[in-house]
Structure 1
């Protein structure tokens, strides 16, 4: 029988962050993943410390950014890849009133490091922005597909990956440990994203799920090396390619792209993009969202060696390293979880 410290179910952003926490502390583990959950793969990967709809700070933004920068840098060195791209984000203003709200927000101590007080004037004929832009600092884009694809290959090379469906009914609880299909483990961490709805141990957690769809367009005349946030995001990928997103659908829980979402994104894009473009791809995935917009982290109420690491929503790139470390310290060091992310706030 193979013995490990941890079994991890799922291999998205949350799982990868937790794996790195385990590796940094010399813990053994095996990851199970069947590629059924697509939210991390299809994510646009944009990270920023500001909620640009309301000009307010993301929860624990500074702590999240610091941990994320260190984690992704370490992974880039370990795997010899580049996934973290620093990127300016320009928030398009639609009125003088929005400009004034931006400058008022930039005076707040929590937002001062992130919101530039210099108005950025538009000089690009392909963009309609008569009121200019506000610039978000300390932002970027994580290439989530490259990260996850390469990290799975890495796990395979070190014999820590099982590309199969995890069968929850095969868990057997022994004294102080868990047996699962020839593996003895001290703990199981479920990082299944919206797939947790099929998990009999945590299926009742209040994960609502929000389907998001993203287009990739080719726009040779746009020529920008920064992201634009308006009615939709436009994110440069290189070679005149841009991601455009995203939609929010709380009813459809499939990973199938829809024509209605495509039309919605194109319609919103055309409100400020004045050049020709071609849609070259269209993808969809269900984000693991929670009604109070906080992750779901913690221990099962009856089984002390089962844990959940979920509910990262639309900000998985930034928050995954933070909550992975919090869960590890909770399990191994007995540190209390922040009440705002502890799953017991619902259980």
Structure 2
């Protein structure tokens, strides 16, 4: 219902996943009047994502892109929201990486001398090995890591913006946007600009369908683990994330085919096959969920203004690292929109304008 809304807002933000929510908070905190519109009946990758932030990834222990900048910013952002929403959102937790072999042990330990890597690795003398994990070769503990409770964040933000007359539950079609030189009109409400934060559904938007999206389907399991010890996240090809009590989330799969929101038996079998050798205590699979990550061709976020519609922008392509990328680049996009600061070339959609004009 729009009758209770105001007649003018600075920004219409379409989509209330981690991208839209982060941008809404940054524009709101900069003093701008925003309207966040979302269709909760649509599936959302943010609702099912584990929300893990991990500074060192992959078999080669590679430092996450811009980790030294985006991790401190994300933690400051989520800590601030915890206070504002009076909810537990940010969970600091180390990540224990069991070694698969002596060779891997030697390889990883040699990497710890790298000054870019060492701040993210716990002193081996202080390491804590989780009791429920099979670790014949020992392991390494990654720090400055943890997870964000995305359902709590999204629901709390929705409640806040609803109470402040800045949230609308509604379906959205870009065909309903009416552009002029001075403003944009949608549902008889006037806006200065519209920013699309639609995740996977940006594929269906005629204004930005030319961008090289490469969405990836992922599935995770919910598992009850007996004698679960500690709150550490375990990572060895898959993650094991303790959520509450004996409940854990285990994931994730990666699939570029058959992109739908349905869970599959093949994914369950794949995850359990990787999970079994790691855990040495009884467990029970209690649930399964699927999402489609909004990734880009070059694995970098996509921010910017449409080449022919100066009042229409996009914030998308956060991929698997949305919880750390979203706050940092929401801040950058907000500063671009409000203060006219330049966007980083690495994320500006201008890098793809040749696809639009060809």
Partner Cα distance (1:20, 1:329) in 2: 13
Partner Cα distance (1:123, 1:268) in 2: 18
Partner Cα distance (1:202, 1:174) in 2: 19
Answering whether residue 99 of structure 2 is matched by residue 75 of structure 1, we say no
How far off its partner does 1:95 sit?
Answer: 1.4
Q: 2:291 aligns with which of 285, 288, 293?
A: 285
248-257 or 107-116, which moves further after superposition?
Answer: 107-116
How far off its partner does 1:19 sit?
Answer: 1.1
Answering whether residue 34 of structure 2 is matched by residue 29 of structure 1, we say yes
Gaps of 5+ in 2: 1-5, 354-358
Q: Deviations over 1:276-303 (max 9, x none)?
A: 2111111111001123211111111111
Q: Deviations over 1:144-177 (max 9, x none)?
A: 1111122112221111111111121111112221
Aligned pair in 2 of structure 1 residues 311, 37: CA closer, same or farther (>3 Å)? farther
For residue 19 of structure 2, what is the aligned residue in structure 1?
14
Alpha-carbon contact 2:130-2:229 (below 8 Å) kept: no
For residue 281 of structure 2, what is the aligned residue in structure 1?
275
Q: Deviations over 1:242-292 (max 9, x none)?
A: 110000011122111111111111111012212221111111110011232
Alpha-carbon contact 2:130-2:230 (below 8 Å) kept: no
Alpha-carbon contact 1:217-1:241 (below 8 Å) kept: yes
TM-score, with normalisation over the residues of structure 2?
0.93
Gaps of 5+ in 1: none
Partner Cα distance (1:308, 1:82) in 2: 29
Alpha-carbon contact 1:93-1:99 (below 8 Å) kept: yes
Alpha-carbon contact 1:106-1:116 (below 8 Å) kept: no
- Equivalence map 1:1-347=2 (5 Å): 2-35=7-40, 36-118=42-124, 120=127, 122=129, 124=131, 126-347=132-353
SS at match of 2:25: helix
Alpha-carbon contact 2:130-2:232 (below 8 Å) kept: no
Aligned length: 346
Partner Cα distance (1:122, 1:64) in 2: 28
Q: RMSD between aligned alpha carbons?
A: 1.5
How far off its partner does 1:122 sit?
Answer: 4.4
Partner Cα distance (1:92, 1:184) in 2: 55
Aligned pair in 2 of structure 1 residues 137, 122: CA closer, same or farther (>3 Å)? closer
Q: Deviations over 1:56-105 (max 9, x none)?
A: 11111121112111211111111110010100101111112222222232
Aligned pair in 2 of structure 1 residues 122, 49: CA closer, same or farther (>3 Å)? closer
Structure 1's consecutive aligned runs of 4 or more residues displaced over 3 angstroms after TM superposition are 119-123
SS at match of 1:224: coil
How far off its partner does 1:202 sit?
Answer: 0.8
Partner Cα distance (2:217, 2:257) in 1: 8
Partner Cα distance (1:83, 1:323) in 2: 19
SS at match of 1:8: strand
